[in-house]
Amino acid sequence: MRGFFEPQSVAVVGVSEAPENLGRRIAMNLQEFDFDGIVYLVGPRGGRAFGRRIYKSVSDIPDQVDLAVILVPARHVPDIIDECGHKGIRRAIIESAGFSELGPEGRQAEQRLLEAARRHGMRFIGPNCIGVINRGNGLAVPFPVLKNVFARGGISIVTQSGGVGLDYLNMLASENLGLARFASIGNKLDVDECDLLEFLVADEQTRIICLYLESISDGRRLMRIARSTDKPILLHKSNTGTLAQEIAQSHTAALSGDDAVVSAALEQVGIARFSTANTLLNFLKVLPLPPLRGKQVAVLSRSGGHAVIAADACEQYGFSLVRFPEDFLRAIEQHFRAQVIRLTNPLDLGDLFDYDVYDRIVERTLGLPQVDGMIFLHTYVSAVEREDSRAFLRRLEEHSFRQGKPVATCVFTDSEEMSLLRRTLPHPVFTTPEDAVRALALLRDYRHQQLPEPRADASGIDLAAIRTIVERCRAEKRPVLLDEGLEILRAAGLPVAAWAVADSAAQAAAAAQEFGSPVALKLIAPEISHKTDVGGVLVGVEGADWVRRGFERLQQAAREAGVRNPPRVLVQRMVSGGTEMIIGAKRDPTFGPTVLAGAGGIFVEVLRDVALKVVPLGDGDLDDMLGRLRVLPLLEGARGRKPRDLEALRECVRQVAELAAACPEIAELDVNPLLVLHQGQGAVAVDARVVLGPAERDEDRFRGAGANSATQV
């Protein structure tokens, strides 16, 4: 990837003498940013531009070229890539549009382009993009005309949309936030976000990584890269469709749509997801500050009204206002001209006009051990206090880093002065108390650190038994039936309520007698997805006579539901007194196996009290999942209730996660309900639905050879 950002020579292909030519704009940007390498211009008509010769073809260039930037009609791009390959160019940025975004004809051109690049071992960014910028060496090849107004810094941007990328660049320029690298990847036919993210993680110039994506190429690779770094990664993921929910065959799939999986996966590896430019700006402003290690803050303000607004925002975002010691307040009070302000937190400095005293107050406030961070609200008239204020604002940053505590600085002054502050201050400033407090909340809640890659362990799973069931269903071209789903759960080590399958009323009665009353009766029919929707479940059935009648009633329900062949009936021992939960698994096309847990029963999709994680689970993931559930206090024994067996619930979630990792042919799985009994009594699965996906490649099927194999996903 370094070759895209640090070439010694660049050929811009698609340049003409016409003033409106877009290739000329690329050459102009290279001049504007003082690119420190050699630039060659290429266009079929030749001529001159900016005092340089325009070569008629890439092959006419007499020297070696490191990078080609191509902006010509799409139909010509494959041939130009082929020519670049023969020239020995191994990196290209293709800004031309007109490929897969336009339909079948464009996809054919894209395939030709890909084949040409692969013939020559060439890597390329694009097509349908606006190129890259390296603020360090002046490489700037977007075709929109740019001005070199970007400060050098540590923010790098990867964007799928050129327009959104330009918005981000404008934001950095207006707020004096330093740029390191920029890459617009468009259709990402070859180089994708993971390739660039991996490069930026190792890049010494980059300290914060910002991504805008409409699709994620490889979710598991994205997570793996994020785990490998402690650099902040910020992602705006748009295009949040619900197509997966429309074809869902299980509760789990309906509850864990594509976007829910994206959010869960990003949070799991410490990628901060944002959806507005303002949130991104707050992140970029606050992340370079020292870490916020708690929620105890101090608010200092020259304006009482702004102090009240900030206090309201602190409460809204979950901060506590530190109670200042009396001796601290009395020492400050001595500097006031009149005793007209009651000192508290927020600390109103409206009667104090001595900047040296401000310095001492800030330093002593940050030195209090109970203070985790500060919001300083500074109001001034620039014509009167310009120089003192500018010097003081610089010292605020010095105090912040010296004490190792963040200070979010909010300034209220005229627009001209604010513009100058943004250009000249070494740290960013906020313009509203709400933004300053919200930014501190982002800093407080954001957790990103290098994380070990978790491992899945299939040692407790009877893969041979599951393989037998899956292969039988495949051979008979039918779904997994209820009794087979329960068998799969049992093979995965989950506790399952005892059951038997009956083909007749007499067999059902005999099974019920063996289990003891009462029992549950459930239809087994491949045509029926959700048994309760057709009256296919009877619970609390007691006595042989009622079991036989129940069997016949289910047969009738099956006929009314359109089941052609006489269905079988599952007879199951009733389990009473448990709290209904759901555990599910789904194989996401981008992130792979996921696991879900939450409040279960027939209203699961109405309540939607669930938590989701990508498998395999790391340390703390199980506790984090359960900690997000609104039903957790009830499981813990709120309002005098007996606590439920949370350890058994955790173990069942873990086992379903291991099953999802070990068996790639399982596309969707519901354990609903799982009855969680009183503490110490365990949990019992009483129903299961397993949906198989398309047949996997041989090397992907049933990872590991047997029941004792360990799996890394």
- Provide DSSP, 551-586: HHHHHHHHHHTT--SPPEEEEEE---SPEEEEEEEE
Whether the per-residue pLDDT at 70 is higher than 80: the answer is yes
Kindly state the percentage of the chain with pLDDT values over 70.
Answer: 94
- Each residue's pLDDT tens digit, 144-181: 999 999 999 999 999 999 999 999 999 999 888 999 99
- Each residue's pLDDT tens digit, 399-443: 999 999 999 999 999 999 998 898 888 788 899 999 999 999 999
- What is the pLDDT confidence band of residue 576, given thresholds at 50, 70 and 90? confident
Residue 67 · residue 3 · CB < 8 Å: yes
List, in sequence order, every beta strand (DSSP E) within 327-470: 347-348, 373-379, 407-412, 456-457
pLDDT-wise least confident of 72-86, 245-259, 497-511: 245-259
Residue 93 · residue 131 · CB < 8 Å: yes
Taking residues 585-593, what's their average pLDDT?
92
**What's the pLDDT at 708?**
29
Q: How far is residue 413's CA from residue 303's CA, in Å, rounded to a whole number? A: 12
Chain centre distance of CA 586:
17
Which position has the higher pLDDT, 708 or 641?
A: 641
**What's the pLDDT at 411?**
94
Which position has the higher pLDDT, 239 or 357?
A: 357
- Each residue's pLDDT tens digit, 325-348: 988 888 887 777 655 456 788 988
The CATH architecture of the domain made up of 290-445 is: 3-Layer(aba) Sandwich (3.40)
Q: How far is residue 511's CA from residue 519's CA, in Å, rounded to a whole number? A: 9
Whether the per-residue pLDDT at 250 is higher than 80: the answer is no
Tokens 């690049």 belong to: 117
Provide the 10 A C-beta neighbour count for residue 9. Answer: 16
Whether the per-residue pLDDT at 581 is higher than 50: the answer is yes
- Each residue's pLDDT tens digit, 373-406: 999 999 999 999 999 999 999 999 999 999 999 9
Locate the domains of the chain by residue range. Answer: 1-129, 149-287, 290-445, 498-573, 579-711
**What's the pLDDT at 647?**
95
- What is the pLDDT confidence band of residue 697, given thresholds at 50, 70 and 90? very low
Residue 711 · residue 663 · CB < 8 Å: no
- What is the pLDDT confidence band of residue 253, given thresholds at 50, 70 and 90? very low
**What's the pLDDT at 546?**
95
Helix (H), strand (E) at residue 212: strand 208-213
Q: How far is residue 395's CA from residue 407's CA, in Å, rounded to a whole number? A: 11
Which position has the higher pLDDT, 175 or 258?
A: 175
Whether the per-residue pLDDT at 117 is higher than 80: the answer is yes
Compute the C-alpha angle 216/219/221, nearest 5°.
Answer: 120
**What's the pLDDT at 563?**
87
**What's the pLDDT at 199?**
98
Taking residues 233-252, what's their average pLDDT?
64
- What is the pLDDT confidence band of residue 481, given thresholds at 50, 70 and 90? very high
Name the class of domain 579-711.
alpha beta
**What's the pLDDT at 603?**
67
Which position has the higher pLDDT, 585 or 620?
A: 585
* DSSP line for 587-638: EETTTEEEEEEEE-STTHHHH--EEEEESSP-TTHHHHHHHT-TTHHHHHTG
Whether the per-residue pLDDT at 240 is higher than 90: the answer is no
Taking residues 197-214, what's their average pLDDT?
96
| Dihedral Cα 76, 82, 83, 85, nearest 10 deg | 140
**What's the pLDDT at 332?**
83
Taking residues 208-223, what's their average pLDDT?
94
**What's the pLDDT at 44?**
92
Considering the four listed CATH numbers 3.40.309.10, 3.40.1500.10, 3.40.20.10, 3.40.50.261, the one that applies to the domain covering 149-287 is 3.40.50.261
Q: What's the CATH number for 1-129?
A: 3.40.50.720
How high does pLDDT run on average in the chain?
89
Residue 286 · residue 406 · CB < 8 Å: yes
Q: What is the pTM of this model?
A: 0.86
Could you tell me whether strands 52-55 and 48-49 are parallel, antiparallel, or unpaired per DSSP bridges?
antiparallel
Domain 498-573 in the same topology as domain 1-129: no
Taking residues 675-697, what's their average pLDDT?
89
Helix (H), strand (E) at residue 48: strand 48-49
Among residues 351, 394, 352, 377, which one has the least CA distance to residue 298? 377
Compute the residue count for the chain.
Answer: 713
Name the class of domain 498-573.
alpha beta
Residue 560 · residue 577 · CB < 8 Å: no
